Amino acid sequence: MAKVKSFINNPYQENTYILYDEIGECVIIDPGMYTASEQNAVTNFIRDNNLKPVALLNTHCHIDHVLGNKFIFDKYGLKPQFHMGESEVLAAVVAYAPQMGIRYEVSPMPDMYLPETGSIQFGNTTLQLIFAPGHSPAHLCFYDEEANILIGGDVLFRLSIGRTDLPGGNFSTLIDNIETKLFALPDDCTVYPGHGPETTIGYEKQNNPFLT
């Protein structure tokens, strides 16, 4: 059964996740580490738990979710995997990072892109892909049916939703994807978002002011 370890990284307080199971393989999702201490926290956890990183996944490619892509590539030889529709989003980071006063080490591009539907396998774990744009043009969420957990990126937050005022964002698209795709998951599914505390699908159905 997959376990989740989260790290809060960078000035945007972004959640970086490591998913791992009893086999000892792990995937790193949305590496936002920015400082040396943030980098060390992730690598020390991987080392101390004898984990083997086998994939680097980005839900989407806004700056706060890709700041550690180059570091993970240098450390573990993993290129990011994301939906091709996020390529321009990633390419834009190098231009706007300096304006925001953020030091950005340029992420490598994927060897392979993720499709809108399908799954990713590692260890004994299967992650289903859920295509949920609206916050960004080709955002993916990762659902582990066995553990009943969703790595949700910036789609659904506790009592909030992803912002839709950035390039490629669309409010009605986002709401539609949450209601038709995420709300189709079990009510007791735990959602691990890109920012802030975890929540559940059922709690957001009942309480999220954007969706009631």
pLDDT of residue 86: 98
Local confidence band at 110 (pLDDT 50, 70, 90 cut-offs): very high
- The overall average pLDDT reported for the chain is 98
> Which domains are assigned to the chain?
3-207 (3.60.15.10)
Residue 200, pLDDT > 80, answer yes
Residue 155, pLDDT > 90, answer yes
Residues 6+ apart with CB under 8 A from 197: 158
Q: For the chain, give the percent of residues with pLDDT over 70.
A: 100
Pairwise CA distance, residues 105 & 5, whole Å: 24
Contact 154, 62 (CB under 8 A): yes
Cα angle at 149 between 70 and 65, to 5 degrees? 20
pLDDT of residue 120: 98
Q: For the chain, give the percent of residues with pLDDT over 90.
A: 100
Pairwise CA distance, residues 197 & 93, whole Å: 26
Phi, psi at residue 194, to the nearest 5°? -70, -20
Local confidence band at 182 (pLDDT 50, 70, 90 cut-offs): very high
pLDDT of residue 212: 76
The residue among 73, 84, 85 whose CA lies nearest residue 137 is: 85
Residues 6+ apart with CB under 8 A from 62: 89, 93, 136, 154, 166
Q: What is the mean pLDDT of residues 92-102?
A: 96
- pTM, entire model: 0.98
